[in-house]
A and B are shown apart, each in its own frame.
Chain A
Amino acid sequence: MRRKHGFWIGFVSVFRGLGVTLLNLVGRRKVTVQYPLERPKVSPRYRGLFYLPFDEEAGRLKCVGCTLCAQACPTKVISMKKLGSGKHAGVSEFTMDLGRCMFCNLCIEACPFDAIHMGPEYELASYNRNASVFTIVDLAPGGAEAVRRNNATIEAAIKAENETGGSERKGHIAEVKLVVPPKTGGQEA
């Protein structure tokens, strides 16, 4: 009796399987992305290449060189050179060796100024190890021009502060808000 039952299950399931493959044949959208010709649309929260947001209003990178991201990084990807100090602090160099990076997002969560982000760029393969080291020029959205403006703004601010004696220090720091990294992403773009 059990044997007979199994036979019918097998008999029916063959035709059911044929139906499934037929539905796949005619009714299903093809999932293939022909990569070099077509580009996949990445999610806005995709963890691709890092970038350092540029604050157009202030005319400088948001990064203040506090090294919290470098300390949070488990694989010591980040190294930076601080420029200035106090309320006008910034960075003149910011280097990431992505050969070691595992894209864990910890640096972004650590940043209190929302000054480092992961973008949609995913083609990070390179022909040698040095090419996976990204400097501040590669990471700033405007490239060398943005870095030049950043350095000029900070240096001018420091010079001005030295001349006036630095009275506005506390007020400026109070304006800095703790920014939680956006979970939905894409807000910078």
Chain B
Amino acid sequence: MAAANMTAGQDRRAVAAGQITAGVILLAALLALASVGYHAVERVRDTPVVAFIGEHPLLNAFAKSFIVANFVTLHVLFLIWWERKFAGWMQARLGPKHVGWNGLAQTVADAVKLLLKEDIIPAKADGRLFVIAPFLVFMPTLLTFMVLPFSASWVGYNFGLGALFALAVSTNVSLGILAAGWGANNKYSLLGGARACAQVLAYEVPLAITVLAVVAVSGTVSLVDIGAQQSRWWNIVAHAPVMIPAFVLFLICALAELNRTPFDLPEAESELVSGFHTEYSGMRFAFFYLAEFANNFFMAGLAVTLFFGGWFGPLLPGPVWFTIKTVGLVTAMMWIRWTVPRFRVDQMMGFCWKVLVPASLVVFCASALWGMWVQR
């Protein structure tokens, strides 16, 4: 019996080692493919047709929107798989395993299922608000991705006020969430919507101040310029005394903005069923889910641009490095999500107004002084 157990254990270990090796090889292949793809795209960019599209204002806008919208929709499929896998591993489970290689196509199957589901609008719901809310949540996400710089040239719209634009637009998510909570005509949804609104608006304040701290050090509001300044040293290294506390504050506020655990009060399952999207199913629910994960990627991307050297890194091309860093930060957020329990509502609000706002103001003033000292 013992011998049988041992061989079974060795088999298991061998299988696990095989899986890890396969994963590493696949990752290396993926990175190589991404690099090759990057150079191919760079070459395609120089062809006359693409150059014409790039110069035509309307076609340019349309093409970029098309690319960004597709990226936002498709990268979420990977992120959801990764989150499930990661959560599974943390809980000594395997995670999705059957559809595709290690369950990689599981999210695709789920998305298809959600799209094919019956479209239900509750009889007493405010129909128009109920229908429009998922798009109100999803639209800001799409807009924020327009200014997210994957590299100096790989950016939807090189906007001089990129950081401010991203902050301003991403706050609008709370409008959609409130619309969803109100429109569903369900007390739990309304509570969730109200909580989300209060939370997003409150945490927006320290978040904006922390971003301003980075702006004070960098001396520019453009995300592309902030990224470009970090070609030698990442902000968090070069300006460590002020940027490390700024990053910690940014991370906490970003988690709250994203309604992720420990700040998932708007959709707290154990209190509010599932909060503002209790009544949603099928495609509309898929939109909420999509927006949640895309926002997660965006916030991580923003943090990478502001603190972790944007698209700069050795060997691999810029967009690939940016994606690697961002996925790494998303993973760190998942790690926090599957570890820390939920806040209480009053603690959550008190923590924001009594701790984070003063702390972020202190960090902002320190960064301003540091910026003056560094520039002199």
Chain A contacts to B: CB under 8 angstroms: 14, 17-18, 20-22, 24-25, 28-32, 34, 41, 44
A21 adjacent to B339 (CB under 8 Å): yes
How many Å from the CB of B319 to the closest CB on chain A?
Answer: 28
- Interchain residue pairs A-B with the least CB separation, the first 4: A21-B339, A32-B94, A17-B339, A25-B90
Chain B: residues with Cβ within 8 Å of the partner, total of 18
Contacts of A28 in B (CB 8 A): 92
- Of A17, A18, A20, A25, the residue contacting B89 (CB under 8 A) is A25
Which residue of B has the minimal Cβ distance to A33? B94
Q: Does B116 contact A (CB under 8 A)?
A: no
**B binding-site residues for A, Cβ under 8 Å:** 1, 4-5, 8, 12, 86, 89-94, 97, 335-336, 338-340
> When chains A and B are docked, how far (Å) is the Cα of A21 from the Cα of B335?
8
In the complex, chain B residues whose CB is within 8 Å of the CB of A20:
339
In the complex, are the beta carbons of A18 and B97 less than 8 A apart? no
Given A25-B89, A29-B12, A34 and B335 contact (CB-CB distance below 8 Å) = no
Q: In the complex, how many angstroms separate the beta carbon of A45 from the nearest chain B beta carbon? A: 12
Contact B335 A14, beta carbon cutoff 8 Å? no
Q: A18-B335, A21-B335 are in contact. List 17 more A-B contacts (CB 8 A).
A: A14-B339, A14-B340, A17-B340, A18-B336, A20-B339, A21-B338, A21-B339, A22-B335, A24-B89, A24-B91, A24-B92, A25-B89, A29-B92, A32-B92, A32-B94, A41-B4, A41-B8
Q: How distant is the Cα of A20 from the Cα of B12 in the complex, in angstroms? A: 23
A28→B86 CA distance, assembly (Å): 13
**Chain A residues with Cβ under 8 A from B91's Cβ?**
24
* Alpha-carbon distance between A41 and B92 when the two chains are bound, in angstroms: 19
Please determine whether B340 and A30 come into contact, CB atoms closer than 8 angstroms.
no
Q: Is the pair A24, B93 in contact by a Cβ cutoff of 8 Å?
A: no
For A22, the closest partner residue in chain B by CB is B335
C-alpha spacing A25/B332, complex, angstroms: 13
